[in-house]
Each structure stands twice: as structure tokens, then as C-alpha cells.
Amino acid sequence: MPELPEVETIRIGLERLLKNKKISKVDFNWPKSFPNDSKLVNKFLINATIKRIIRRGKAIIIELNTDYSLVIHLKMTGQLVYRSNGVKFGGGHPTDSLLGSLPDKSTRVTIEFSDSSFLFFNDQRKFGWIKLIPTDQVLNIPFFLRLGPEPLEPDFNEKLFTERLGRRSKTSIKAVLLDQSVIAGIGNIYADESLWESKIHPTRLVGGLSSTELSRLHKAIIKVMNLSLSNGGSTDRNYVDAEGNRGNYLKFANVFRREGSPCNRCGNTIIKIRVAGRGTHICPFCQI
């Protein structure tokens, strides 16, 4: 589900809502969602206080005052929603909320705080996970070791972008954009949107892209991600922020889930094809 802008939106909300809260209790009903040793949980999670919350790629890291951290990956359908005691419905407009009272049948992990507020980890498809890891070892788990650079950091310049792509010259540009070891945080929505923005067809091989096209794509990735971030991310099906609210970016999307509609640039019809095993939305006229 969530890509970089959605995960960052959740992180910002959690930072505001959870900082300095003390964890009093943790429940889970699906072991793969919370694969942790109960002795370590009792020693380093229960009664721990939340220091800060950071993000790397599509993962969230909640740092505790016990020198342990909760590392969270939401995969396709994960949600992290905070509720203060007694508040049964999400913030924002009730009609905009995807969530009713919590916990519900998709709740996999419930974290209770000493002030009787809760953080619910909901995950319909059960692909996501929350792992308790010593803070100084977090970045050494395989997921982070493989991860490429952050596209919204200042050092992600055109030179670095080209260097990262260079290793994969015979692969389609869409597959490479989705590869987290090349660049961290891009998923299916922003791959499609960035390729439309830069007028590049997703099946083009990396080695065949001109420096002008690479330059356009580099700028497009940053533009699209920042636009989404400033709109609270994209809600297609499951995504909600830390208070249960949907994101607004899809109102600005030019191709994603717009098949059958006219291209905002040339008026031809957007189509959906399959590239790198993923549903892929393009304007076949202006993406060449």
C-alpha cells in the first residue's frame, strides 16, 4: 500500500501523537505480524517511552528509551492508527474515514499507552510486520542493508540518480524504479506518475534513455513525491494516516487508476498495461 509519501505522512502524524508516550501493554493475534521474543518484549518494550520516529524507505522506525526500536513495514494494506481513549471514530470527516471503531477484524497488533490511548496496527492482508530490534542494529537488518538512497534528500542529485540506474541498463525503467535497492520509497503509483510526467514509456530499457530523459525523470520523481507529500499521500483503497484520514494526492494523479480517461496533456485515452508484473498506467501517445 503505502509508498514514501504515505509512510512519511504517517511518520509525521505519529511523531506528533506518540512522542514521550509510555507503552503499557501490547497484544497481537497473528504471530507473523509481531514476530518477537516475549522476554525481550517484556524487558524492552513494555514500560518503554517513545523518543522519536524516523523513516527509511517505506519503513517506520519508532525509537524507544530502552535502546530498542520498533521497526514497522506496512506492505500493501497496513495501517497505523492512533486513538485517544474513548474516541471511536477517526479524525476528519466521518465520510472520509475508512475506519469505524477499533480494534476491528483487521487489527493484528494493539499497543496501549499509560494514558489509556492506543495505537492499532491494522493489516487486512497480513503481509506487514512490527519487529523489536536493538536501535544500534536496526540499519543492519537485511531490509535496510539493501535499500538505495532517499529520493527526497538533498544529496539525491542527477549524478547519483544516473549512477544508481547505470547498473541495470538492460532492465525496463519501470522495474528499476520499483527496485528498492536502486532508489528507496518509489512504488507502483509514483513510478507510473513519474514516467508520465517525464514522457517516458515504462518498458523502455534504462540503457536506451537519453541524458535529457534521465534528467526529466529525476526531476519528475522529486516533483511527484513532494506534491503527494503536501497532499497527505494517496488513498486508493486502504491507506489512511495516523488519525485515520485519507490522502488527497489521487485528485492530482495523471495516470494512476485513470484508464479510460483522457490524458491531461494530450487528450488521448489513458490505458492500463502490464509491465514488470505490475498493473501500469500510461498515455500511449505522449509516453514514448
Positions annotated as catalytic residues are 2-3, 58, 278
Residue 274 binds DNA, judged by CB under 7 A: yes
Query: In whole angstroms, how close is the CB of 25 to DNA at the nearest point?
Result: 24
Amino acid at 120: F
Cβ neighbours, 10 Å, residue 223: 14
Ramachandran region of residue 276, left (φ > 0), alpha (ψ -120 to 50) or beta? Answer: left
Choice from 171, 248, 254, 264 touching DNA (CB under 7 A) = 171
- The smaller minimum CB distance to DNA, of residues 198 and 235, is found at 235
| Closer by beta carbon to DNA, 113 or else 239 | 239
Closer by beta carbon to DNA, 141 or else 288: 141
Give the side-chain half-sphere CA count within 13 A for 196: 28
**Beta carbon of residue 187, minimum distance to DNA (angstroms, whole number):** 2
Using CB under 7 A as the binding rule, whether residue 277 contacts DNA is answered as yes
C-beta separation of 244 from 90 below 8 A: yes
- Is the Cβ–Cβ distance between 203 and 172 less than 8 Å? yes
Question: Min. distance of Cβ 120 from DNA in angstroms?
Answer: 15
CB of 13 to DNA, least distance (A): 14
- CB of 92 closer than 8 Å to CB of 245: yes
Which stretches within the chain are classed as H helix? 4-18, 38-44, 142-146, 158-166, 173-178, 188-197, 211-230
Cβ atoms < 10 Å from Cβ of 259 = 14
Pick from 138, 135, 99, 134: nearest CA to 120: 99
Rounded-to-10 torsion of CA 164, 168, 173, 178: -70
Q: Mask of contacts with DNA, 36-75, x by CB under 7 A?
A: ---------------------xx--------------x-x
The piece of 13-21, 60-68, 88-96, 169-177 that touches DNA (CB under 7 A) is 169-177
Nearer to DNA, 4 or 48 (CB): 4
Site for DNA in 191-230 (CB under 7 A): none
The CB-of-263 to DNA minimum distance in angstroms stands at 19
Binding residues for DNA (CB under 7 A): 1-3, 6, 32, 57-58, 73, 75-76, 105-106, 124-127, 142-143, 146, 167-168, 170-172, 175, 178, 180, 187-189, 233-239, 247, 274, 276-279
